[in-house]
Structure 1
């Protein structure tokens, strides 16, 4: 599993979007118990904290100490540094395993072996990610050009799994059909800029070129944005959900 987010862990924690309650409620319809959940590659802990409202115990792991340092403390949530593919959890420990916006970094075969080991029979694996944000017909093409042309060459190769909505990743479970979800945020232009700065491709661009590409994008967007107002931003979510039969 790669670690591309430690350097910008503060920005990642501050500006990353949060997942809707409806997503968790859908997943939980298929989970047979509420004893324990494992949030793998938890990052800043946003999923783990949400799961703590439903489970007696939540284990939250990540390979980045810097990311975990930004995580929100919460009752029933235990954070620890751990690889996704190899943990110290006992067999058949969890009713649910979740991975938000991180599965594409894993070694799929060894991760699935670990999931099958630690999930209880009938337990659930839910993995999801989100697509490129959508704002307006005028702004979206500017963001798409930035994503594909400006910083496009600086995305890690695994990024193609996001574009393919995880459909080409092995998923050896009894799969459940899922509806479409979206994250809706209301951001200022400054918050939008902060979100772009959290992209791993932006960090790679800065290292390679010695300059930040985000201000030029914000300059392009500014005439299309009321700087005194927040604007609605949508992140379409894709998900795969499977039962450990």
Structure 2
């Protein structure tokens, strides 16, 4: 498992999109018990915070202690820095296991062995994520696409392909539950958009190899945007499953 987000963890917490309650509601429809959930790859708690009203206890784990240090504190949440496959939880003890925007970095075989060990027979596994950002403004959207597919070509880690494939190609050794299509929608300022793009691992890899900024075209284009901000959206990636 790679740790690409310890550096700049504060920016990651501030700039990454917030998940919607619609995602959580969709998952919880299939979770009969609400005792313990494990949020793996929790980062700075973006998804963990949406689970707190619904479970008696939550274990939130991440490889990066720097990310976990950015997470808010709740009485029913315990944070632990560890590998994804080292939860330390008891056999068949977990009602829900979630992984938000992180499973593509995991060692699938080792992690899924841990999932099968700790998940209750009635429990649910949920892989959550979001795909490539889309701007409603066609000119801005074209510039984002050009940045992603052309300027940063060769700068992305191989695991990024799983997001490009909308998580359809990740190994998924579960009985799958069909879910509705969901989308995250926001109105962002130019500064918010640029901050988000600066959290891209591919962009950070680019900056290690070049002296120029790959965001120049977008910076110039965004100077012309209206003060009320940009309409942007992300396709939600969601795969739910039960133990086979």
TM-score interval, smaller chain: over 0.9
**Can you give the 5+ residue segments of structure 1 that lack an aligned partner in the other structure?**
none
Contact 2:61-2:87 at 8 Å conserved across structures? no
Q: Counterparts of 1:157 and 1:70 in 2: how far apart (Å)?
A: 27
The 8 Å contact of residues 49 and 77 in structure 1, kept in 2 or not, is answered as no
Q: Helix, strand or coil for the counterpart of 2:134?
A: coil
Q: Quote the residue 1:94 is aligned against.
A: 94
The aligned residue for residue 104 of structure 1 is 104
Superposed CA offset, 1:160-183 (max 9, x none): 010111212211111001111111
Q: Which residue of 2 aligns with 1:72?
A: 72
Name the CA distance, whole Å, in 1 between partners of 2:187 and 2:108: 35
- Report the count of equivalent residues: 243
Q: Kindly provide the CA deviation profile for residues 119-149 of structure 1, in whole angstroms up to 9, marking residues without a partner as x.
A: 1111000002111111122211110000111
| 1:142–1:221 CA contact under 8 A, matched in 2 | no
Aligned equivalents of 2:212 and 2:110: distance in 1? 38
Superposed displacement of residue 211, structure 1? 3.6
How far the C-alpha of 1:53 sits from its partner, in A, is: 0.8
Answering whether residue 170 of structure 2 is matched by residue 169 of structure 1, we say: yes
3-state SS in 1 of match to 2:185: strand
1-structure distance, mates of 2:231, 2:35: 37
* 1:115 corresponds to: 115
2:192 corresponds to: 191
Q: Which stretches of structure 1, 4 residues or more, deviate above 3 A after TM superposition?
A: none
Per-residue CA deviation, residues 20-59 of structure 1 (Å, 9 max, x unaligned), is 1111011001112000100000011011111011000010
Shift of 1:220: 2.9
> The residue matched to 2:154 in structure 1 has which SS?
helix
Match of 2:10 in 1: 10
TM-score by length of 2: 0.96
Give unpaired runs (5+ residues) of structure 2. none
